[in-house]
Amino acid sequence: MTEQTAPGAARYVGARINRVEDARLLTGRGVFVDDISLPGMLHACFVRSPFARAAILGIDTTAARAVPGVHFVFTAAELNPGVKEQWHTSIGKASPDTPRPPLAEGEVRFVRDPVALVVAESRSLAEDAAELVEVDYEPPPAVVNAVADALAPFGVTVTRLPLSPSRIVELLEGKASP
Amino acid sequence: MHEISVQLTVNGQAREATVEPRLTLADFLRERCHLTGTHLGCEHGVCGACTVLVDGAAVRSCLMFAVQADGAEVTTIEGIGSPDGDLSTVQAAFRDCHGLQCGFCTPGFVVSVTAFLRDNPNPTDREVREALSGTLCRCTGYQGIFNAVRQAANQAADTGRGGARS
Amino acid sequence: MKPAPFEYHAPDTSADAVNLLAELGDGARVLAGGQSLIPMLALRLAVFEHLVDIGRIPELKGIERRDGRLRIGAGTTDAAVEASADVTSTVPLLTRATPFIGHFQIRSRGTLGGSIAHADPAGEYPAVALTLDASMEVVSPRGRRTIAARDFFDGLWSTSMGPDELLVGVWFPIWSGRRGFAIEEFARRHGDFAIAGATVGVELDDDDRIRRCAIGLIGLGSTPERAGAAEVELTGRPITEVEPEDIGRLAVAGLESIPADQHGSAEYRKRVGAAMVARAWYAASAEARHA
């Protein structure tokens, strides 16, 4: 390594440097995504599932589409075919991941899973219309005693959790008391 | 639903508009006045990014409707500092003390701190922390912000007056 | 998150306001400072067809001593209460409670009347009003009446006011003599709703006996509460004989509907409440003894 240092290094190394963007940010002249306003721009609002898991029996967007100022209301049938690349994690496109459709197809799999997309002239109108989208959900019963319920038909009563897999085998083979 | 006519002053400039009652002061400033420095972080009054001065008092503009501001004088982040772009004492202190990173919460802090130091020119450290507690920052960890307030207060004390330009 | 649409009314007298409320019925709501109402509207947790803004009614503002009491107009902001020398000298418990209300930006708009009418059991002003036996001045198209604090809070976010009644002022008694006041509150972060808190007033006679006392409880029921049994136990006793921790335990002993949620169980809140009473009692009695 040579002893030579670049001419600017003495000025910067060890010195306190002000950032170049601060004057703009301190005076409210930053441009964040919501600050962008373009001619003809529309605003989106998603209709989201209130259930952690449910079948979607039907979606009625008639009332939502009738709200003045609403331009589109998409559901999976209208939107998903046009999306060429599925959302994927940082593992990459080739990973055998659970399919994640842009809008829920046939079922919702987490609370706030997006079911419909409303596009309107203002955010307020989009929210008004989103409230009018009617989704017919059929949530299955929640399984909160999976292990106990699964073992009951085999005559095993679970009195204590957690149970390790080897312990479950012991209980099923009748080798141990619960 | 009836729209309402409002007249107010924003950063010294008279503004007049006809608005839906449900339009918040924050949205009025951002959309009608094109002053996007006032930010919307939560839209329910907990983050402080939307803070403006209404008749001199620091207020969460997402918790006011534009119709309630009829006849008021509003100051936004764009109105702090001189029209030539010189930073106020508070703004310069934030720059000097690295009291900002992404800058999203910064207008809320600058406006709140400007009002706070105007009314409390000689705050204790505890009073500063209490005053800052109403605005949230996800980037800095607050130490730079606290230091900026301390610097601004000390500078105002040294010069014997507040709001000195820098 | 944007509110649903509503019609806006801004009357400039309380008579006009109550006539509007009577005419508009259930679909109308009073808008005072908006610091509790507007978040609910923004999140669409509540929807009203009409908002009646009382922020432009001059007779609702003002702080004055009258008839030996302090009258505070319902539309007076928290910030004005905090800054008032009249309040500090006559009802210091209000001055000390105010900084616990949210943050200073909230206090610029929030009103004393709005907080009391909203009747949150974790609110500071409802507890102070109950502790000091304040009187609520209320108007309707049928006239004016007064509701004692003990009859005012009748359930979670509920008052005994009728749908066409408007709170216009709150009258606070002024304690004289050797008095002490304190508020103690515990919240996870400054400005959060209290998990539990206490408001205490105590007056001593010249022999250091407790002439009277009042202990209010924040966040320990569906309304603010008074620790009546503890107050009875204390009245007449020498102040030096009283152990703050004992008073704390006694104050929370009979409580039956202490809230439980992700911030704490009922049992936890009870323990915190007892500690807050003890601390507030200690501070208030120290002030009274030196008066």
The residue of chain A nearest to residue B101, with distances taken between CA atoms, is A22
* Residue C206 maps to a domain: yes
Tell me the CA distances in angstroms from B140 to A89, B93, C258, one per residue in order: 28, 15, 38
**Longest C-alpha distance within chain C, in Å?**
62
Where does residue A114 rank: exposed (0-12), middle (13-18), buried (19+ CB within 10 A)?
middle
The residue of chain A nearest to residue C4, with distances taken between CA atoms, is A128
> Looking at this protein, which amino acid is placed at residue C214?
A
Residue A138: pLDDT over 70: yes
Sorting pLDDT into bands at 50, 70 and 90, what band is B125?
very high
Residue, of A123 and A101, whose pLDDT is higher:
A123
Residues A127, C5: C-beta atoms closer than 8 Å? no
Residue C239: pLDDT over 50: yes
Residues B103, A18: C-beta atoms closer than 8 Å? no
The residue of chain C nearest to residue B133, with distances taken between CA atoms, is C190
Tell me the mean pLDDT in the region A71-81.
96
Q: Rounded CA gap, C180 and C92, in Å?
A: 9
Residues C8, B116: C-beta atoms closer than 8 Å? no
Q: Are strands B4-10 and B73-75 parallel, antiparallel or unpaired?
A: parallel
Across the interface, of A26, A30, A34, the residue whose CB is closest to B94 is: A26
Q: Are strands A114-120 and C135-140 parallel, antiparallel or unpaired?
A: unpaired
Q: What residues in C contact B27, CB-CB < 8 Å?
A: 2
Superfamily of domain B4-78: Beta-grasp domain (3.10.20.30)
Q: What residues in A contact B104, CB-CB < 8 Å?
A: 30, 32
Residue C71: pLDDT over 50: yes
Residue A178: pLDDT over 90: no
Contacts of B60 (CB under 8 A, 6+ apart): B45, B48, B50, B51, C35, C105, C106, C109
Class of domain B89-159: mainly alpha
Q: Rounded CA gap, C182 and C278, in Å?
A: 11
Q: What residues in B contact C189, CB-CB < 8 Å?
A: 133
Sorting pLDDT into bands at 50, 70 and 90, what band is B165?
very low
Report the CATH number at residue C40: 3.30.43.10
Contacts of A77 (CB under 8 A, 6+ apart): none
Q: Is C1 helix (H, G, I), strand (E, B) or coil?
A: coil
Question: In terms of domains, do C236 and C139 share one?
Answer: no
Question: In terms of domains, do C168 and C62 share one?
Answer: yes
Structure tokens at A165: 């897999």
Q: What residues in C contact A124, CB-CB < 8 Å?
A: 2-3, 5
B85 in contact with chain A, both atoms CB, cutoff 8 A: yes
Q: Rounded CA gap, C255 and C250, in Å?
A: 10
Question: In terms of domains, do C204 and C253 share one?
Answer: yes
Sorting pLDDT into bands at 50, 70 and 90, what band is B162?
very low
Question: In terms of domains, do C169 and C202 share one?
Answer: no
Q: Rounded CA gap, C190 and C198, in Å?
A: 16
Q: Rounded CA gap, B19 and B67, in Å?
A: 8
Q: What residues in A contact C3, CB-CB < 8 Å?
A: 124
Question: In terms of domains, do C158 and C252 share one?
Answer: no
Report the CATH number at residue C280: 3.30.390.50
Residues B103, A26: C-beta atoms closer than 8 Å? yes
Question: In terms of domains, do C204 and C228 share one?
Answer: yes
Q: Rounded CA gap, B56 and B118, in Å?
A: 10
pLDDT of residue A4: 55
> Looking at this protein, which amino acid is placed at residue A8?
G
Domain residue limits, chain B: 4-78, 89-159
Share of chain B above pLDDT 70, in %: 96
Min Cα distance C23 → chain A (Å) is 27
* Residue C200 maps to a domain: yes
Q: What residues in B contact C2, CB-CB < 8 Å?
A: 22, 24, 27, 43
Structure tokens at B80: 């702090």
The chains found to touch A (3+ Cβ pairs under 8 angstroms) are: B, C
Among B68, B117, B135, pick the best mutation site for testing chain C contact (most C Cβ within 10 A).
Answer: B68
Residue B164: pLDDT over 50: no
Share of chain A above pLDDT 90, in %: 57
User: With contact defined as beta carbons under 8 Å apart, do A108 and A56 qualify?
Assistant: yes
Q: What residues in B contact C106, CB-CB < 8 Å?
A: 45, 60, 63, 134
Residue B5: pLDDT over 50: yes
The residue of chain A nearest to residue C2, with distances taken between CA atoms, is A124
Where does residue C222 rank: exposed (0-12), middle (13-18), buried (19+ CB within 10 A)?
middle
Residues C38, B63: C-beta atoms closer than 8 Å? yes
* Residue C40 maps to a domain: yes
The residue of chain C nearest to residue B61, with distances taken between CA atoms, is C105
Structure tokens at C20: 């509007």
Lowest mean pLDDT of A7-16, A86-95, C198-207, name the range.
A86-95
Min Cα distance B10 → chain C (Å) is 18
Per the prediction, chain A carries an average pLDDT of 88
pLDDT of residue C11: 98
Tell me the mean pLDDT in the region C81-105.
97
Q: What residues in B contact A22, CB-CB < 8 Å?
A: 94-95, 100, 103
HEC string of chain A equals: CCCCCCCCHHHHCCCCCCCCCHHHHHCCCCCCHHHCCCCCCCEEEEEECCCCCEEEEEEECHHHHCCCCEEEEECHHHHHHHCCCCCCCCCCCCCCCCCCCCCCCCEECCCCCEEEEEEECCHHHHHHHHCCCEEEEECCCCCCCHHHHHHHHHCCCCCCCCCCHHHHHHHHCCCCCC
pLDDT of residue B166: 40
Q: What residues in C contact B67, CB-CB < 8 Å?
A: 8, 10, 53
Question: In terms of domains, do C36 and C77 share one?
Answer: no
Residues A127, C44: C-beta atoms closer than 8 Å? yes
Min Cα distance C111 → chain A (Å) is 28
Residue A177: pLDDT over 70: no
The chains found to touch C (3+ Cβ pairs under 8 angstroms) are: A, B
Share of chain A above pLDDT 70, in %: 87
Q: What residues in B contact C4, CB-CB < 8 Å?
A: 22
**Final residue of a domain: which of C113, C148, C173?**
C173
Sorting pLDDT into bands at 50, 70 and 90, what band is B160?
low
* Residue C21 maps to a domain: yes
**Please, what's the b/e burial string for C1-24 (b: 16 or more CB within 10 A of its CB; e: otherwise)?**
bbbbebbbbbbeebeebbebbbeb
Residues C2, A131: C-beta atoms closer than 8 Å? no
Tell me the mean pLDDT in the region C103-128.
98
Residue B123: pLDDT over 70: yes
Across the interface, of C2, C4, C5, the residue whose CB is closest to A123 is: C2
Min Cα distance C67 → chain B (Å) is 32
Lowest mean pLDDT of A103-117, A163-177, C30-44, name the range.
A163-177
Q: Rounded CA gap, A19 and A15, in Å?
A: 12
* Residue C1 maps to a domain: no
Across the interface, of B43, B51, B130, the residue whose CB is closest to C42 is: B43
Question: In terms of domains, do C146 and C166 share one?
Answer: yes
Sorting pLDDT into bands at 50, 70 and 90, what band is A134?
very high
Tell me the CA distances in angstroms from A174 to A158, A166, A167, A169, C253, one per residue in order: 13, 12, 11, 9, 51
Among A17, A20, A22, A122, pick the best mutation site for testing chain B contact (most B Cβ within 10 A).
Answer: A22
A34 in contact with chain B, both atoms CB, cutoff 8 A: yes
pLDDT digits 0-9 by tens, C19-52: 999 999 999 999 999 999 999 999 999 999 999 9
Per the prediction, chain B carries an average pLDDT of 95
Residue, of A94 and B16, whose pLDDT is higher:
B16
Which option is the CATH number for A40-85+98-138: 3.90.1170.40, 2.40.10.220, 3.90.1170.50, 3.40.50.300? Answer: 3.90.1170.50
How is chain C split among helix, strand and coil, in percent rounded to 5?
Answer: 40, 25, 35
Question: In terms of domains, do C37 and C73 share one?
Answer: no
Q: Is C135 helix (H, G, I), strand (E, B) or coil?
A: strand
pLDDT digits 0-9 by tens, B32-88: 999 999 999 999 999 999 999 999 999 999 999 999 999 999 999 999 999 888 999
Q: What residues in B contact C3, CB-CB < 8 Å?
A: 22
Nearest to A54 by CA among A142, A173, A122, A158: A142
Tell whether omega for the bond before A162 is within 30 degrees of 0, i.e. cis.
yes
Structure tokens at C71: 């009258």
pTM of the model: 0.91
Share of chain C above pLDDT 70, in %: 100
Structure tokens at C287: 């002030």
pLDDT digits 0-9 by tens, B140-158: 999 999 999 999 999 987 7
Report the CATH number at residue C98: 3.30.465.10
Nearest to A51 by CA among A102, A100, A104, A98: A104
> Looking at this protein, which amino acid is placed at residue B114?
T
Across the interface, of A22, A27, A124, the residue whose CB is closest to B77 is: A27
Range of the domain at C152: 58-173
Residues B134, C189: C-beta atoms closer than 8 Å? no
Across the interface, of B40, B81, B106, the residue whose CB is closest to A25 is: B106
Residue B96: pLDDT over 90: yes
Q: What residues in A contact C47, CB-CB < 8 Å?
A: none
* Residue C111 maps to a domain: yes
Nearest to B61 by CA among B91, B92, B37: B37
